[in-house]
Amino acid sequence: MAQTRPTQRRRFLGLGRSREEVMQRREKREKPEQPCIYFPQAPQPGEWRRSVGLVFTATPPEITEEVRVSVPAIDLNLQRGLTKNLYVVGRLQTQFIQNSLNLGLRYAMPLSEKWFVSAGYDINGWMGVLKIRDVFDAQAYGVSNYPNVSVGYRLTRTLQLMARTEAIFDFYYHSQVGSLSVDYHRPQLSGVAFAFALEQPFYKKQHVTLGIRAAYSRFNWQFWSLYETFDRPLFYPQLFFGFIL
């Protein structure tokens, strides 16, 4: 009598479903269950994602001394799916006199119905101009790179968690004060950042992102005009809140 071979259920990364099941479900997937910006799931090819919000950065005491405030910036995100897994991301943070633009690529894939991962590489360009009579005649710009890895967990149908780790590489810095200018060309690891975000519906069908980011870096573009000189990573905690459009 032929012996029935027991079903070999190969676990995919030990997360509860076989690789075949995950792949089948991924094939069936038509649209994400809910809008997201930070959650590591690619938009459909050709699909746009947008969000608008605010990001608050707490000032480190080493730089701003007794002035301890949370500095707000307008935070705009724009993403577009290129393939099933690959998408391009853009992020503009602006305080009008100083701006930061991220452009990057992400490759995202589901590990199971609940777990998702992505890897990405963002290039950041920032610039600021400050001209105040008898106080400032300065401008600066620079380029940094943010390679990043994200993990997402879909807690319920409407609540998604995301954790992201970024390395911050400073690549180029230029500043001009009056007629004098300086440049730093040396690429260096400036620091790391950890971000955590929740994405969920807020009211009616409006979805939001609520997150925190802790950056430990030698430089932060928002404080270029203070010309800090510390060669040690400083702590820049951020709170961000955005409406996914």
Q: Which of residues 10-69 bind other proteins (CB under 8 A)?
A: 31-35, 50-52, 56, 58, 61-62, 65-66, 68-69
Q: Which of residues 142-171 bind other proteins (CB under 8 A)?
A: 153, 155-159, 161, 163
Nearer to other proteins, 110 or 242 (CB): 242
Q: Which of residues 190-219 bind other proteins (CB under 8 A)?
A: 194, 196, 198, 200-208, 210, 212-214, 216
Does position 172 interact with other proteins (CB under 8 A)? The reply is: no
Distances (CA, A) of 153 to 77, 93, 117, 158, 159: 21, 26, 9, 11, 9
Q: Closest separation between CB of residue 137 and other proteins, Å?
A: 5
Nearer to other proteins, 107 or 153 (CB): 153
Q: Closest separation between CB of residue 77 and other proteins, Å?
A: 9
**What span, in angstroms and rounded, lies between the C-alpha atoms of 123 and 2?**
60
Interacting residue with other proteins among 3, 7, 8, 229 (CB under 8 A): 229
Interacting residue with other proteins among 94, 187, 188, 189 (CB under 8 A): 94
Does position 188 interact with other proteins (CB under 8 A)? The reply is: no
**What span, in angstroms and rounded, lies between the C-alpha atoms of 223 and 167?**
19
